[in-house]
Amino acid sequence: MKSVWIDPDRCTLCGLCTEVCVRRVLQDKDGTIAVTDPARCIFCGHCKAVCPEDAPQVPYLRAEEFVPAPSGGDIPDPDKLLAFMRSRRSVRIYKKTPVEREKIEKIIQAGRFAPTGGNRQHLEYVVINTPEKLAEIRDKSMEVLEAQADGIETAIIKHRDSGKTMPDSLLLASLYVDSWRELFRLHREGIDRLFYDAPAVIISHFMPIGGASEVVDAGLSSMQMVLMAEALGLGTCFCGFLVIAVENSPDLKEALQIPAGHVAPVSFMLGYPDVKYERLVSRRRARVTWL
């Protein structure tokens, strides 16, 4: 992988790139900007983005994506931005209209530009947007969740019979059983309460190598995606039950073409909403400690 380098014909030695360099790879030495330790570069692109003369060259990154940053009237009004974010709700009523591929690609782009810890950019995505594949994944997920419910109920009975204190993890899992039983009953009647007949589902996954930011990265990416979906006139709803099913079924992972070692912490449904909300969302007051 080629390292960052500074074009001497463009560089004016303003020093801005050295100030924003996260790993201190760029340093002012003897009247020039030197690349001191190329192996430490994480290719964040801060140096190229801040330079007025575009002197830093980063072969690993797409030069055409370094377009001018918005300013002035191009920046969203804070109150309107907050109102837009509050307008996003979990949609569970969808039209049968398929979501255009170009809109899904724009949504994925929004996820791609989300920050990741150490600029790893480790996230991958699966898009399910054909009725046949959605039905297959729905059926497989139901089978996995039903097996999970049976296992939880068996474990609860064993703990009760033994007189041992039930662990918190099992108590938490037991809360799902009734919901899943209702899910299975409706599924057998042809009613979809997993995907709510949404025409598309997107799953984020990655190979874990350790670090607290990995799952957070998937959440950040997914939030940017659902906000882009909102801007495109689409509705979304996060689907935690699918995440549970995927993490407990190698067969389901294989059907989704998710590598065996990967984890898939976030998924959401996507489609044109067949419901209109007239008012913004309400939430509990923020609990804040000011220091």
**Has residue 72 been placed in a domain?**
no
Give the start-end residues of each E strand in 163-280: 200-206, 235-238, 263-271
- The region that residue 237 occupies, defined by phi over 0 for left and psi between -120 and 50 for alpha, beta otherwise, is beta
**Has residue 164 been placed in a domain?**
yes
CATH value at residue 15: 3.30.70.20
Q: At residue 19, what is the residue type?
A: E
Domain end, chosen from 65, 89, 109, is at: 65
**pLDDT band at 265; cut points 50, 70, 90:** very high
- Are both 132 and 16 inside the same structural domain? no
Residues 6 or more apart whose Cβ sits within 8 Å of residue 197: 94, 96
Q: Is 15 helix (H, G, I), strand (E, B) or coil?
A: coil
Average pLDDT in the 198-222 region?
94
Q: Is 102 helix (H, G, I), strand (E, B) or coil?
A: helix
289 with 170: CB under 8 angstroms?
no
**Has residue 71 been placed in a domain?**
no
| Residue 195 domain boundaries | 77-291
pTM: 0.91
Q: CA 15, CA 28: separation in Å to the nearest integer? A: 7
- Are both 101 and 44 inside the same structural domain? no
Average pLDDT in the 184-209 region?
96
- Are both 262 and 205 inside the same structural domain? yes
Tens digits of per-residue pLDDT, 50-104?
999 999 999 888 989 999 988 878 899 999 999 999 999 999 999 999 999 999 9
**pLDDT band at 1; cut points 50, 70, 90:** low
- Are both 115 and 204 inside the same structural domain? yes
Domain count, the chain: 2
Q: Using CB atoms within 10 A of its CB, is residue 120 exposed (0-12), middle (13-18) or buried (19+)? A: middle
Q: Is 135 helix (H, G, I), strand (E, B) or coil?
A: helix
200 with 232: CB under 8 angstroms?
no
- Are both 290 and 222 inside the same structural domain? yes
